[in-house]
Amino acid sequence: MFKKSQFQIKTPAEFNLMRKAGRVVALCLEEIREQIKPGMSTKDLDLIAENIMKKEGAIPSFLGYHGYPAVICVSVNEEVVHGIPKENKIIEDGDLVSVDCGAIIEGWHGDAAISICVGNAKVEHKELCNITKEAMFKGISAAKTGNHVGDIGYAIETFVKSHRDLSIGILEDYVGHGIGTQMHMPPSIPNYGSAGTGPKLEVGMAIAIEPMLVLGTNKVHVLEDEWTVVSSENSFASHWENTIAITENGPEILTKL
Ligand code: MF3
Ligand code: CO
């Protein structure tokens, strides 16, 4: 007898619906990446995502989530995650903008984030952004059956720490997560850890892998709006995320075009 998994195991048909949700998320992020420029407000970016979701028949999963008031999160510079789009928050040349987006199709979720260096960004901010993106891919490569959740965090952490030229903090209070019929499901997927520890990865699981990195220490706090997570040292941060299916052929990115 097979032991029932403690996690939600998806059928191939269910992965297909998650691919559809993931495609809409990718469409939103791609359009924002193309349109973003100095002078736009973070609310303008929210409207881009809102319109695409309407057109594609997807439900924005963030809107109303624990009272969250927007379709996407836009976190600028020292904001790490969960920045609320605002008409009076204007994007400037050199900003590092992280955009996080989630969509639902027929009850199934997709969740992804990108970071964008707008215009003439500082070299070290571009480097932070590239390291965060690559750290995400290191984590994705480790997301295969036979491995444990800790192997993902270990891959991310060792990659980040291999960059001796920059001091980079990995957020500990915010982590990746299982995903499926809800945005946040077990297991938690930390961006640090030890190889071979934690739950085993099984075919049919879906997880969101999302390194959140800050220059300097990993100290963060939440602003008075009760959402925006900022670096306590006011240093720049980057966030990249994809929703991944664990398949018998290895990890598959679901949040893609
Ligand atoms: N997408 C975020 C995550 O990666 C969660 C967004 S919180 C919300 O887990 F309130 F904005 F929905
Ligand atoms: Co997520």
For every one of its 257 residues, what pLDDT tens digit does the chain have, with 9 covering 90 and above?
667 899 999 999 999 999 999 999 999 999 999 999 999 999 999 999 999 999 999 999 999 999 999 999 999 999 999 999 999 999 999 999 999 999 999 999 999 999 999 999 999 999 999 999 999 999 999 999 999 999 999 999 999 999 999 999 999 999 999 999 999 999 999 999 999 999 999 999 999 999 999 999 999 999 999 999 999 999 999 999 999 999 999 999 999 99
The C-alpha atoms of residue 33 and residue 41 are separated, in whole angstroms, by 14
Ligand 2 ion: nearby residues, β-carbon < 5 Å: 111, 208
Which helix (H) or strand (E) segment is 177 a member of? strand 176-178
Give every CB contact of residue 90 below 8 A, 6+ residues apart in sequence: 38, 39, 40, 41
* Mutation test residue for ligand 1: of 25, 50, 62, the one with most atoms within 8 Å of CB: 62
Question: Which atom of ligand 1 has the smallest separation from the CA of 72?
Answer: 11
What the chain holds in terms of domains, given with CATH numbers, is 12-248 (3.90.230.10)
Task: State both tokens at 11.
Answer: 């059928």
Give the β-pairing of 206-209 and 176-178.
Answer: antiparallel
Q: Evaluate if pTM is beyond 0.95.
A: yes
- CA 189 to ligand 2 center in whole angstroms: 10
Question: Which residue, 119, 146, 134, 163, is CA-closest to 238?
Answer: 134
Looking at the DSSP bridge assignments, the partners of residue 251 are 246
Please tell me if the CB atom of residue 85 comes closer than 6 angstroms to any atom of ligand 1. Answer: no
State which ligand 1 atom lies nearest to the alpha carbon of 174. Answer: 9
